[in-house]
Amino acid sequence: MKTIRLASFVLSAVASAACSAPTVSSDTCVIEHVHVIPMDRERVLNDVDVVIVGETIVSLGRGLPTPPDARRIDGRGKWLIPGLVDMHGHLLADENIADEYQADELAVILANGVTTLRDPIGKPSLLALRAAVARGAVLGPKLRLGSPQLAGRTWPGVFNGREVHHADEARAAVREYRDAGYDFIKLTTDLSREAFDAATDEARSLGIRVIGHVGDQVRLQRALEARMQIEHMDQFLEALVPDDAPFRESVSDISVWKLERWKSLDWLDASRIPAIAKQVADAGVAVTPTNSFFFTCFARGSTDAEIAARPEKRFVSPELEAVLLRGRPMYWKNPPSEARRQRYIELRQRFVRELHAAGVKLLCGSDAPEWILFAGFATHRELDEFVAAGLTPYQALETATVNPHAWLGDLAQVGTIAPGKRADLVLLDANPLASIADVRKIAAVVVGGRVLERAELDRMLDAAATRLSKAKPLE
């Protein structure tokens, strides 16, 4: 599982069959003459061979010794990057469709180059799915799971969640979810300060990290003190409300639905952003902006034609589409003014720039699959959005490779391209450092050393589309 050095593959001592093609007996794969973007720093290694044995990259270089029966992938004119991570991707099967479709969704996500997925709100069947992926029984991205959500308020149909109001309830929930095997504790909306303090304190004493939303009762300073990993840049806009404003709230999180709160956009003091970014950096807190989700749904909007043209469309039944898009006419019937929505975009983009400049580790998260924005496809859109905010394509790629693996704690094993690292890779037909949109031009995905070339990815997508397009909504 760990480092396998060059000598071991020369001796054919590695038993894994992970990268064998049917006609090849060797467990060695070589991606030949490829431009490697290793992501350890900004550089390209031109025209090198990448040798993979079993699930591990064993060497990079030119003219390396390889077994004659190694599987060979022609990398000429192609670029190789580490596999992508989506740090905030829910599955349709978490809430909207039956668990039997989980593996189909993972296939779609993997075919888009995502080799690790953090699903922030877990449930028991996802624990089993995580184990099935880990032992190779299901082909998909490695899963990291948040707990069922701890919320201060639930409503009929709230998924995988539990209301906690008091300290003892919050502590008990944290213990229960830690013991059940979830990787992180997930906090969501309307949590009381008492419940937040107890949950974060209990989690700290148990050694499990807390991720999620920050509400009006908690606010940014408290979340930073608690070293919570913040999703959606919750409470960042609220931190820009001037002291003399006749309100304290703005439009973070589900408050985007409250039209009167959009008036706050006329007041917000953008000159505070650098100081806030420094506070986040000093706290060592990583941030998942999920800007593409918020902009697509609530700020820019999407036309019917744009939705019809999304690559996700063929994976959705008409009945499920109606459920997933139910909020759209409700929101856009009486939307905030264009000027306020534009200011919302500008401020959130400026936060991304300033957070990055301050040294905050930004994380790529799609917040799939609401409004037909599915992990994989939507992961690519979030990368676009980092560049739209002012990051370079290289810096955007960091949010989906090294930064998440550093946060997840497995950067020593995966997340850059180097000998000894797990072979989770994406082979691209074009250079993503020239245009981040080129992460979509996928020639092959390598997951745990298993190479899936374009024709196989297309077969996986077709099979998943056949099944998922018949999946009926559960409600």
Q: How many positions of this chain bind Zn ion (CB under 5 A)?
A: 1
Cβ-based nearer residue to Zn ion, 27 or 367: 367
List binders of Zn ion among 406-445 (CB under 5 A): none
| CA-CA-CA-CA dihedral for 281, 282, 283, 287, to nearest 10 | 0
Identify which of residues 183 and 367 has a Cβ nearer to Zn ion in the complex: 367
Q: Which residues within the stretch 187-226 sit at the binding site for Zn ion (CB under 5 A)?
A: none
3-state secondary structure 44-63: CEEEEEEEEECCEEEEEECC
Given candidates 119, 190, 202, 367, which one binds Zn ion under the rule CB under 5 A?
Answer: 367
Min. distance of Cβ 368 from Zn ion in angstroms? Answer: 8
Cis before 369? omega within 30: yes
Nearer to Zn ion by Cβ, of 367 and 424: the residue is: 367
Judged by beta carbon, residue 9 or residue 371, the one nearer Zn ion is: 371
**Shortest reach from residue 319's CB to Zn ion, in Å:** 23
Of all residues in this chain, which one has the CB nearest to Zn ion in the complex? 367
> Using CB under 5 A as the criterion, what x/- string covers residues 324-363 for binding Zn ion?
----------------------------------------
Residues 427/430/435/437 CA torsion (nearest 10 deg): -60
Comparing CB distances to Zn ion, the nearer of 153 and 454 is 153
For every residue of 419-456, DSSP letters joined together read TTSB--EEEESS-TTT-GGGGG-EEEEEETTEEEEHHH
Per CB under 5 A, the segment of 195-203, 211-219, 365-373, 460-468 that binds Zn ion is 365-373
Binding of Zn ion at residue 119 (CB under 5 A)? no
Residue 207: left (phi > 0), alpha (psi -120 to 50), or beta?
A: left
- Helices (H), ranges, 19-166: 102-111, 124-134
In whole angstroms, the minimum distance from the beta carbon of 293 to Zn ion comes to 8
Residue 366 parent element (H or E): none
> How far is it, in rounded angstroms, from Cα 283 to Cα 299?
30
294/344 with CB nearer Zn ion: 294
Residues with Cβ < 8 Å from 292, sequence gap 6 or more?
A: 366, 373, 378, 381, 382, 384, 385
CB 104, min distance to Zn ion, A: 20
Window contacting Zn ion (CB under 5 A); options: 168-176, 192-200, 367-375, 433-441:
367-375
Closer CB to Zn ion, 117 or 465, in the complex: 117
- Give the nearest distance from C-beta 96 to Zn ion in angstroms: 13
Rounded to the nearest whole angstrom, what is the least distance from the CB of residue 334 to Zn ion in the complex? 25
Least separation in angstroms between residue 233's CB and Zn ion is 13
Q: How far is the CB of 77 from Zn ion (least distance, A)?
A: 38
Query: In this complex, which beta carbon is closest to Zn ion, that of residue 79 or of residue 177?
Result: 177
Residue 288 CB, shortest distance to Zn ion, in Å, is 9
- Name which of 83 and 146 has its Cβ closer to Zn ion: 146
CA dihedral 299, 300, 303, 308 (to 10 degrees): -90
Pick between residue 122 and residue 432 the one whose CB is nearest to Zn ion: 122
The CB-of-28 to Zn ion minimum distance in angstroms stands at 40
Helices 102-111 and 454-468: crossing angle, nearest 10°? 150
- Comparing CA positions, the residue from 344, 352, 346 lying closest to residue 386 is 352
| Nearest C-alpha neighbor of 88 from the set 109, 67, 63, 59 | 109
Q: What minimum distance in Å lies between the beta carbon of 101 and Zn ion?
A: 19
CA–CA separation, 49 and 10 (whole Å): 16
Q: Which stretch binds Zn ion (CB under 5 A): 58-66, 101-109, 335-343, 366-374?
A: 366-374
Smallest separation (angstroms) from Zn ion to the CB of 411: 24
Which residues lie closer than 8 Å to 198 by C-beta, 6 or more apart?
166, 167, 168, 170, 171
Binding residues for Zn ion restricted to 5-34, rule: CB under 5 A: none
Instruction: Give the whole-angstrom CA distance, residue 215 versus residue 385.
Output: 24
Complex with Zn ion: residue 30 or 285, whichever CB lies closer: 285
Q: Round to whole Å and give the CA distance between 305 and 370.
A: 18
CA dihedral 213, 354, 391, 312 (to 10 degrees): 20
Residue 37 contacts residue 79 (beta carbons within 8 Å): yes
Identity of the amino acid at 298: F
Query: In whole angstroms, what is the distance from residue 84 CA to residue 138 CA?
Result: 18
Which residue, 367 or 398, has its beta carbon nearer to Zn ion? 367
Per CB under 5 A, residues contacting Zn ion are 367
